[in-house]
Amino acid sequence: MTGRLYGVGLGPGDPELVTVKAARLIGEADVIAYHSARHGRSIARSIAAPYLREGQVEELLLYPLTTETTDHPGGYQGALDDFYADCAERLAAHLDAGRTVVVLAEGDPLFYGSYMHLHKRLASRYPAEVVPGVTSVAGASAVLGRPLVERDEVLTVLPGTLPAEVLAEKLAGTDSAAVLKLGRTFGKVRDALAAAGRLDDAWYVERATMDAQRVAPLKDVDADGVPYFSMALLTSPAEQTFVPAPASATATGGEVVVVGLGPAGRPWLTPEAQEALAAATDLVGYGPYVDRVAPNPRQRRHRTDNRVEAERARHALELAREGARVAVVSSGDPGVFAMASAVLEVAADFPDVPVRVVPGLTAAQAVASRVGAPLGHDYCVLSLSDLLKPWEVVADRLEAAARADLVLAIYNPASRSRTWQVPAARDILLRHRDPATPVVIGRDVGGPQENLTVTTLGELDPGQVDMRCLLIIGSSTTQVTDRGVVYTPRRYP
């Protein structure tokens, strides 16, 4: 009786993506065969290593050449044909002796794999079985986190070794595509994507599911050092990632949504804001706020400085006019000392671009909730910053709020260059408020350095206050319990 031949797919690289059947057959085999370039290192063997056992015979099938020239009379193909014939006979000797032979194959054995050349030569002579594996295309799509095709879309798989004009023609005529065998062909493939008008949509995935995995927009990749085990992907044209376009979007799909992220972290994000962020193709905002949104490889991120609100708004509207679905992100609520008013002001120059605002939990609400209910009655929201309005206006409004006995929620109380406003504001308020008036200092509420201090107006230390703080100044009715809970009764004397 002869042995049995197995072509076993190992998946794209992660040993945990080897199928249960593949792992069993590898452990049971008498002979393990695998291909390698002349350096002798085999990726296939490294993937299968956890499933090998002591005492197995290993057959290293060393390619005689890869991309170099040869003096073989049959040329490159002739040299490889002789190599596969020799490998087949080496394995046939084991099969004739009744041994079970497993040939390891990265990805799937019959998907651009070397095993197929042995199968053609041996399957008619010996019992043979192919064990499928996760393809490199499936692995790359998975790590990219984007669907390849949906509904009736067409996926085209291409080798990068095709002529540039053939690649360009096929890339222009398909919905989605995977271009394999990059390496030295990368420059040609990038040119073909550009010629097909698809370069901006293309993604580069290198060594998918392996430790050295890399994902990037293909247009940003340097051709130097691109390995053979990489590919170009054009994923499903349905860019919405399962979220329908809002009804307010233009015919091109373009719109601007100003999104409030809340004071910190995903738990403070509303479902409506999450939906708006998921639907966006572009995120625009102050760098630290953009960084609070989880990365999504299909989205472009436009990080800017904190003092360019008008330029940021104009950029967002220009992107939307070109068809992008833009989320302009703000901390807290976008309509409270944030980006909503800046976008709406500039939007007057873009009457064809729809703009909507998605509210968020404010910093004042967050700080108040941590200490109780100091905003339980009428209150005033005021910024101490004099960058966009004169200090005289700020002082007049502090006087008016203090005379009206309103609770105050004070934003932007101080910064590195503005350290005098807090003591100045305290002095104004003390002309109308008892020094025992409760004061709450909330810093980085919801963040990793959250800190809350309950003090009084007379004992307020300006040195405790910086730009990451929000102050709540109580009214004449605001109370502090023995347990440190702060609240303002709803009934006024």
∠ CA 465-470-472, nearest 5°, is 105
pLDDT means over runs of 10, the chain (493 residues): 95 95 97 89 94 94 78 83 94 96 97 95 97 96 91 94 96 95 94 94 93 89 90 82 41 80 85 88 91 85 84 93 92 91 93 93 93 94 88 93 94 84 92 94 87 93 88 94 93 88
For residues 181 and 160, the answer to whether their CB atoms sit within 8 Å is yes
Q: Which amino acid is at 259?
A: V
| Sole residue written with tokens 């002349």 | 38
| Sole residue written with tokens 């120059």 | 349
In degrees to the nearest 10, what's the CA dihedral of 136, 137, 139, 145?
A: 160
Q: CA–CA distance from 170 to each of 60, 146, 190, 196, 234 (Å)?
A: 37, 21, 14, 8, 12
Beta bridge partners, 180, equal 159
Claim: this prediction has a pTM higher than 0.85: no
- Residue 477 CB: number of other CB atoms within 10 A? 16
3-state class of 376 per DSSP? Answer: coil
Cα(139)–Cα(15) distance, rounded to whole angstroms? 12
Give me 396's structure tokens. 């007049």
Cα(295)–Cα(290) distance, rounded to whole angstroms? 9
DSSP state of 467: T
In degrees to the nearest 10, what's the CA dihedral of 36, 37, 38, 44?
A: -30
Q: Pinpoint the residues of the chain covered by CATH 3.30.950.10.
A: 137-234, 364-487
Q: Write the DSSP assignment of 312-337 as a string of letters.
A: HHHHHHHHHHTT-EEEEEESB-TTSS
Q: CA–CA distance from 246 to each of 4, 253, 260, 357, 359 (Å)?
A: 58, 8, 17, 13, 16
For residues 457 and 434, the answer to whether their CB atoms sit within 8 Å is yes
Cα(121)–Cα(89) distance, rounded to whole angstroms? 9
User: Cα dihedral sign for 458, 459, 465, 470?
Assistant: negative
| Strands lying side by side in the sheet with 325-330 | 300-304, 282-286, 325-330, 255-260, 355-358
Q: Write the DSSP assignment of 168-194 as a string of letters.
A: HHHHHT-SEEEEE--GGGHHHHHHHHH
| Sole residue written with tokens 């393809």 | 135
Q: Crossing angle, helix 391-403 and helix 421-430, to 10 degrees? A: 30
User: Cα dihedral sign for 421, 426, 428, 429?
Assistant: positive
| CATH 1.20.20.10, applies to 255-361 | no
Give me 349's structure tokens. 């120059």
Q: Pinpoint the residues of the chain covered by CATH 3.40.1010.10.
A: 5-134, 255-361
Which CATH superfamily hosts domain 5-134? Tetrapyrrole methylase, N-terminal domain (3.40.1010.10)
Phi, psi angles (nearest 5°) of residue 341: -65, -35
pLDDT at 254: 87
pLDDT at 179: 97
Q: Which residue from 42, 3, 4, 5 is spatially nearest to 118, judged by alpha carbons?
A: 5
pLDDT at 253: 58
Fold of 137-234: 3.30.950
Q: Given 3.40.50.2300, 3.30.950.10, 3.20.20.70, 1.10.10.10, which CATH number is that of 364-487?
A: 3.30.950.10
- Residue 317 CB: number of other CB atoms within 10 A? 25
